[in-house]
Amino acid sequence: MPQNLNAYMTGKRGFGKKNIARIAKALNIPEESFYSDPTANRSRLKKARKVPLLSWANAGAWHESVDIFQDGYAQEWLAYDASDPHAFALRIVDNAMEPEFRPDDVVIVSPSVPSATGDFVLAKNGNNVVIRRLKALELAVLLKPINSDYDDIHIANKDKRLLRIIGKIVARIVRY
């Protein structure tokens, strides 16, 4: 089973009944805990609404007074269980946040959910729009990539007026 771990973790391969039974036995938990509650799935589907998949330019220009539901503003519409009426989707275009977010993954951005140190956020610093991990320091704010090939974005307190946290990343959608 270890050689298949990556396939399981990425969702490319299901566990199967035999492996679920082995894992449940090893963990001393009921096999049923691996299966979702079908009534819970139905209730989630009832809450699902369409969120717009925005371009990076539109995401960077986003603010609450923008009508993200106007014709042509969204590239596509995705069903998602979003309680935030301002939530939108954004496609990852670079590898700055790998392995957490990969190119072509879609993330859900929620402008109404407060962000804190350690959260993944969509931020605009001047004209630069990025997804990074937020880290608040005493004298500055850091926007940290996961991929070490990218530099931290350091914003001194005196320059915070140039920084706008557009929203918190609340979910990732991976398509196969």
In tens, the pLDDT along 90-139 reads 999 999 999 899 998 999 999 988 999 999 999 998 888 899 999 988 88
51: nearest Cα among 74, 78, 72, 27: 78
Which stretch, 10-14, 50-54, 67-71, has highest mean pLDDT? 50-54
Whether the predicted pLDDT of 48 surpasses 80: no
Backbone φ and ψ for 24, nearest 5 degrees, come out as -60, -40
Longest Cα–Cα distance in the chain: 59
Alpha carbon distance 132, 113 (integer Å): 16
Q: What is residue 162's three-state secondary structure?
A: helix
Q: What is residue 123's three-state secondary structure?
A: strand
Judge whether 87 and 111 are in contact, CB under 8 Å: yes
Report pLDDT for 8. 57
Question: Tokens 């918190």, residue?
Answer: 168
Q: What is the mean pLDDT of residues 85-91?
A: 88
pLDDT confidence tier of residue 62, bands split at 50, 70 and 90: low
For the domain covering 50-173, report its CATH number. Answer: 2.10.109.10
Q: Residues 5, 90, 107, 16: is their CA dihedral positive or negative?
A: negative
More confident residue, 142 or 24: 142
Report pLDDT for 133. 96
pLDDT confidence tier of residue 13, bands split at 50, 70 and 90: low
- Where residue 111 falls (left for φ over 0; alpha for ψ -120 to 50; beta otherwise) is alpha
Domain ranges of the chain: 1-43, 50-173
What percentage of the chain exceeds 70 in pLDDT?
A: 69
